[in-house]
Amino acid sequence: MKAIVLFGSPGSGKGTQAKLLKKRLGIPHISTGDMLRERIRLDGELRAGVGTVMLSGALAPDQLVNRMVEDRLGRADAAKGFILDGYPRTLAQADELCRWLDKRGVREVVIYLAVDYNSIIARLMGRRQCLRCGTLYNLVSQPPKVDLECDRDGEKLVVRDDDSETVIRERLDAYERQTRPVLEFLRQAGRRVEEVAAGADSPEQVFEKICGIVLNHDRA
């Protein structure tokens, strides 16, 4: 089983790399952010509670996220492997994931996408998304062919609610407080953590670095 955990701050490129890995490896891309947004969209009660928390830039409750990820990993398409994007984000989530992996004898590789703070702010402020197909663009680094229109379906691109400047800064603060310590936890737990400089290179160049790490992990 291939278990790849993409780790990094908001805007570090986890979603982009997960989609490229999914296409190359044929295993599912599991994004807790996407799953939460979809559940909030369909569940009015959840939208009033967790949705409000997320729009403020804070993290969703561990119990909800852990249960959601475990259910998703139990599906048939994840039997041969998976790519986790946005999980774990807290120490409690990291502990739960390690338990899940150890119970099944799965050897994961954690890819930490390292990007400096100013680059993250610039990326997120320029980010736009197609609500129909979910494709992400960046007006500076990955603009659409037609201004503010999705290349795939022509849908108008929008700024996500959680990409406003106020929310971006709160999300980055939450990352520093709650998520960055997860890296140290994983290292101390003996997990394989590989750091990839992802600030200056193109998404394709970063992807090739990640593929080299995954290939070496498979051979180990």
Known catalytic residues are: 14, 89, 127, 160, 171
Q: Which residues pair with 127 in a beta bridge?
A: 138
Note whether 93 and 66 are within 8 A (CB): yes
Beta bridge partners of 6: 85, 111
Separation of CA 173 from chain center: 17
Q: What sign results for the dihedral spanned by CA atoms 122, 123, 124, 128?
A: positive
* C-alpha torsion sign, points 191, 25, 214, 134: negative
Cis, peptide link before residue 144, omega less than 30° from 0: no
- The residue whose two tokens read 């994983």 is 186
Please give the Cα distance from 134 to 33 (Å, whole number): 12
Measured CA to CA in angstroms, residue 178 lies from 164, 168, 183, 199, 206 at distances of 21, 15, 10, 22, 25
* Nearest-angstrom CA–CA distance, 39 and 206: 31
